[in-house]
Structure 1
Amino acid sequence: MTTRWLSPEEQRAWRAYIAAALLLEDAIDRQLQQEAGMPHMYYSILSTLSESPEHRLRMTDLAERLKITRSRLTYAVTRLEKDGLLRREECQWDKRGSIAVLTDEGMAVLERAAPGHVETVRVHLFDHLAPHQVAQLEEIFTGVARALQGDEAGGPAEDVPWRRRSGKPCS
């Protein structure tokens, strides 16, 4: 098999993506640690639960939505549970599974953290893009995510699992 090396343009785009992704994640983590005392992963767990019906989600589904391993999720949920931000309940229809439930305290913490988080995302990403570039960014990364998930045909953008389902300011 012949290696399909990146063209100079592809190499520059790849390196720009890597640099931007790492720097953005670092900025988000730093802001959330300073203002909310939690890493971006924990915020994402709380945010995902806040957008789920009744603020609850089966652990397996939560791990899938967040694109993390179940063991990594279990570790994070244990910490969030210890802090009173969520609780686990037994799954009624599958005794092997459990459900993560956002507590009122968890929702309050999320609501306090959301404005700073959204401002950080805006300042470090969206303020540097023209409106047409925002649409392009969504189109590009929706296509990449679908391809990585094995759904290259792709349905409408509304069907993607990370699409927000509520008007809440949490992302």
Structure 2
Amino acid sequence: MADLDKDPAGPPGCPSAEGGSLLPAELHAWMLLLAATGAVEQRLRTVVKERLGVSHDEFLILCLLAAQPEQGLRMTQVAELLGRPKTRLTYQIACLQHSGLITRQSVCGDKRGVQVALTHQARSLLQEASGSLAETVTDALGRFMGPAQREAVRGLLPDLVEGPASEVPGPAPV
């Protein structure tokens, strides 16, 4: 908290960023990256709820499906890609279906398989909200990724180049 009092606009201090860490460089870099992304996620939760009316976990499902062809994905694939238990995912899918944002149907030839896909309503909603969501991410990264975090990311991704915030790439296809 003391670091925030000194420079409220700067990123919070990280005691282990000063060197002498017991962790290998890769693990240290990963922990700094997790701290920065956790801070971004906290900022994004509010905007997602306001703009899309869904929880952050439901938003992750929508983003995953948005990167897919219109036929969507099997629920088992969604669970694996997001690292979520299937039982929790079933509840979130039901909420999204009830909101009219996804469709759910049985997979032909596999009575246990369930395919989920975005509706046109969800695609429109995501498209309308994408600007403010991207701005939230860019602003939060700018605030929480100080020199130590950027250096940590470079340690994990040595070919990463530093560019203006407007060049932040979109999500990679899954």
Q: Which has the larger radius of gyration?
A: 2
Q: Could you tell me which of 42, 66, 71 is aligned with 1:50?
A: 66
Native 8 Å contact 1:49 1:55 kept in 2: no
Query: Structure 2 CA distance, aligned partners of 1:138 and 1:164?
Result: 17
In structure 2, what is the equivalent of residue 114 of structure 1?
Answer: 130
Q: Could you tell me which of 86, 105, 123 is aligned with 1:89?
A: 105
Does 2:148 correspond to 1:136? no
Q: CA deviation at 1:123?
A: 0.8
Native 8 Å contact 2:36 2:141 kept in 1: no
Does 2:154 correspond to 1:165? no
Highest RCO, 1 vs 2 (Cα 8 Å, sep ≥ 6): 2
Query: Structure 2 CA distance, aligned partners of 1:58 and 1:37?
Result: 24
Unmatched segments (≥5 aa) in structure 2: 1-15, 159-170
Query: Structure 2 CA distance, aligned partners of 1:113 and 1:32?
Result: 8
C-alpha distance after superposition, 1:73-94 (max 9, x if no partner):
1111100000000010001131
C-alpha distance after superposition, 1:23-52 (max 9, x if no partner):
222111112112222222212211111111
2:154 alignment partner AA: Q
Q: CA deviation at 1:110?
A: 1.2
The 3 A distance-change label for structure 1 pair 55 and 118 is farther
Does 2:83 correspond to 1:67? yes
Q: Give the aligned CA root-mean-square deviation in angstroms.
A: 3.2
Q: Could you tell me which of 103, 114, 139 is aligned with 1:123?
A: 139
The 3 A distance-change label for structure 1 pair 96 and 15 is closer
Q: CA deviation at 1:102?
A: 0.8
In structure 2, what is the equivalent of residue 38 of structure 1?
Answer: 54
Identity across matched positions, percent:
28
Native 8 Å contact 1:43 1:110 kept in 2: no
Query: Structure 1 CA distance, aligned partners of 2:129 and 2:155?
Result: 25
The 3 A distance-change label for structure 1 pair 134 and 86 is farther
Number of corresponding residues:
137
